[in-house]
A and B are shown apart, each in its own frame.
Chain A
């Protein structure tokens, strides 16, 4: 069990992860600024068209994006039930006031969450953790100790999954596996923590033994390139942001949250 490496196969997988993250920023800013249905809907349409064009359509509709489709309506519903009331009241029940205004806010929130989370999830699924570390260290010049430490920690997540399974069996073997799920999980979580700390310590020693943290200018075996593909992707991200803002302003639905 490990964090899968995804580099082979997927479109955009070889693009510098820093560019993929950067490309989602302008749209996120636009959609945080305004609370309206039009801008987010335009963004979603653009996203679906673009991802399908570059060949990520399969990933877009795969179960791996399901959390987005589930979480977005849930946030929307809470806004419908508890959002600031305005306009005609549709339904009243205790602290719940469903009004025309709150329904509008709820729908706007739902599409906004989808528009922001969908590209983030799809693009992130094409990112290999090693490539991300290379990008963070070489393109953004973040300290290598920090970046590689985080990368190594990520690899330990895989061992933690295996440890959890074995701990589960071990508790059954020791005669304490019959107690309730919650109680058992708490004790098991503590054991997992102890094991994780010990593994982390050994890994740190192994890394040090191979010169990690030595007083030398570190080189990188893999070059994190940043060329026209990367700039194009960031450009496309800006265009989507601009398009959704422009359409919203033109149809008059642009609605900056503090106004």
Chain B
């Protein structure tokens, strides 16, 4: 193994006719890729959902696995060596901040990579401290990793990679799960480190504007194989605008679609007064919420990570009992039941309130897309015929028909999101509550979801969307509820910064 000095020199990447086919799939995820990235270049990697951006990044990081995981085509080299042999030369940060915390304490987690590289103990702790400082994570090394917010976890993952002093920093949508403040923090931390170490940087992100200030090259992968565009950011974005947009790339200062004015007819569905919400009795994460949800309107609930937005959404859905205050359904929503949604039976919720969870995987129950869509209508005891009609219509509208027999877990991120929305509207609820419906989606999926939600709104459905997405709030939502940063007494006691 080379010493620490050699490891920190910027790395070069070269691909010749490179491709990868996941085991069990007929079509390769990526193929026919030719590219050279020089030491110290900072590259923004673009491409439509499913074009194989992540596969390329995992390939460069050397973590795609062996022959049982898939088949490699052509040649991919990091510093002239196969990536798996060059492990430690590159550091990869994944999209999901939860999934990459390895150890229970902050310091131990950053030290983990250094231990694996065989760095002597005396050298480890100074490097840990330095890495934590460079990402701006100002916490004691004994701090529990379970108590970090999403933004803090993502910075921790970054610190864990930076401490290894890789010559190549690989970031796979590192800011997709973060609030706007967290996005800037992580972006700035990356910029600072790239400046200090001169390391080569490759970052995947749908939203170009975030990373544009710090990259010097844009590469767009073509979903049909090979490259769509490659060059200096300004040039590529100007010359290939329409192709990039068609490929789902989120161009700077571009909103994919804007909603028309809402219908004039509207009535209250749900009213909250002095509402306290929390997942555990006696420990409200948020108190004193005043809100009104109306039919034919889209309400955006915004605020930084950890202020209790998701908990509020679950309470409005009738899934959690309010911990205090009052949440009352109007007659139009309750239609014959008592006015407290948490008292309703599971089946009674179906035609009244639909819920789309933050992670679609949590709500999938069956082995195929069609069966998944039938769950709700079946619980409502609809006839075979009307069930089939509803499901076929949804498959069609959401462009999922060709996937009707596929397992929901094998869909792409955008497809999973569309399916989770479809399952919630299959029972025609009067109120639809969505948690982060647009996060991590490319511009194409974003536009489809926006059109779908606005269509429901125009039919008189009331919609609540918890979101960090400024474009969604600006172009789609009719009203906005902001939850601020002030912390309730019990949340401060528990020392949690994440909800």
Contacts and interface: CB of A to CB of B under 8 A. Distances in A.
Interface string B94-135: 101011111111011001111111111100110010000000
Given A175-B379, A219-B121, A191 B365 contact: yes
B93 to A, nearest CB: 8
Given A202-B94, A202-B96, A175 B427 contact: yes
Given A166-B357, A173-B363, A175-B379, A203 B100 contact: yes
Interface stretch (A16-24, A111-119, A220-228): A220-228
Contacts of A163: 362
B91 interface: yes
Interface string A68-110: 0000000000000000000000000000000000000000000
Interface stretch (B72-80, B313-321, B388-396): B313-321
A155 interface: yes
A217 B1 CA distance: 10
Contacts of B164: 210-211
Interface size class of B (residues with CB under 8 A): 35 or more
A163 B358 CA distance: 12
Contact of A221 (B88, B104, B108): B108
A176 B363 CA distance: 11
Contacts of A177: 345-346
A13 to B, nearest CB: 13
A176 B345 CA distance: 10
A207 interface: yes
A170 B100 contact: no
B380 interface: yes
Interface stretch (B34-42, B184-192, B347-355): B347-355
Nearest to A222: B108
Interface in A186-228: 187, 191, 194-195, 198-199, 202-203, 205-214, 216-223
B63 A175 contact: no
A209 B63 contact: yes
Contacts of B346: 171-178
A218 B99 contact: no
Given A152-B102, A202-B96, A176 B124 contact: no
Interface of B: 1, 58, 61, 63, 87-88, 90-92, 94, 96, 98-105, 107-108, 111-121, 124-125, 128, 142, 144-146, 157, 160-161, 164, 279, 314, 317, 319-320, 345-347, 349-350, 353-355, 357, 359, 361-365, 375-376, 379-380, 409, 423-424, 427
**In the complex, the 3 A-B pairs of residues with the closest C-beta atoms, listed nearest first:** A177-B346, A2-B146, A175-B379
Interface of A: 1-5, 7-8, 128-130, 151-152, 155, 158-159, 163, 165-167, 169-178, 187, 191, 194-195, 198-199, 202-203, 205-214, 216-223
30 contacts: A2-B104, A2-B145, A3-B104, A5-B105, A128-B104, A129-B104, A130-B104, A155-B102, A155-B103, A159-B98, A170-B357, A170-B362, A173-B349, A173-B357, A174-B346, A174-B363, A174-B365, A175-B350, A175-B376, A176-B346, A177-B345, A202-B94, A205-B94, A208-B87, A209-B61, A210-B161, A212-B112, A219-B119, A221-B128, A222-B108
Given A173-B346, A176-B375, A210-B160, 5 more contacts: A130-B108, A171-B346, A202-B96, A216-B88, A219-B115
